[in-house]
Structure formats: structure tokens, C-alpha cells
Copies of this chain bind each other. A is one copy, B any other.
Amino acid sequence: MNALSDSTTTLAELKARVLAFAREREWEQFHAPKNLSMALAAEAGELMEHFLWSTPEASRAVARDEARRKKIEEELADVVIYALEFANMTGMDVAAVIEAKMSANAKKYPVEKARGRSDKYTEL
């Protein structure tokens, strides 16, 4: 079966799968950064639709609701697939850009100041 799981799958493996899927279908011609960023944003919109009218607290239960969970998983998958394909098409290393961004975030949001607060760093 060979099922994938987060604990054993590298970003590179996942990116390679997504790339192979597109290449096989000769879709790289459509996968310009502009188009992929639109597709990603559209899928993020679909993910949001599951939570429009619930409170944040209630949304935790929505995400675990059996009837909806499969759909929500599919929307999350679509989002990440487009993000990985964006990285493929632009030659970006996802782990490296995340590490760099989190390091910048750590400076903007030092633990002592940011603890338990949702304010933007400009307002801390």
C-alpha cells in the first residue's frame, strides 16, 4: 500500500509527487506563479467556508465532525498541493523559507512580550 504519513515523508518527496502529477498531464504550462497563487487563494476560501458562521470555539468541533471532516481534509490537501507546486515552479525550498520566516517571527514576537496575546507585533 505504501501509505504516506507525516512522520516519514519529506517535503521533497511530497513536492516530487505533486510535480510528477502535473508533468504527466503537461500542466506545467498552466502553472505560472500567478495562476497557482490564485488557485491557492481560491482553495483557502473553500477551506474557510466550513467555518463562516461558527464561533472560533465551535469551529474546533466542526473540524472534528465526522460528516464534514473528509471535506475539510480535502480542502487542506488542495491548499498544500498548490503551495508545493508553487514552490516547484519557482524553485523554492519550503523548509528553508519556513525556517527563515519563523526566525524572523521569533524576533517580532519575543516570548515574554507575545505570551497569551494575539496583538500584531507592531502593537506589542
Contact = CB atoms under 8 A, between A and B. Distances in A.
A55 B55 contact: yes
Interface string A7-35: 11111101101100100111101101111
Contacts of A55: 34, 55-56
A81 B48 CA distance: 16
* Interface footprint category on A: 35 or more
A91 B5 CA distance: 12
24 contacts: A3-B96, A4-B98, A6-B12, A6-B87, A8-B10, A14-B95, A14-B98, A17-B98, A18-B102, A25-B111, A26-B116, A27-B116, A27-B118, A34-B48, A37-B51, A41-B45, A41-B48, A42-B48, A42-B52, A55-B55, A63-B89, A64-B90, A74-B101, A81-B98
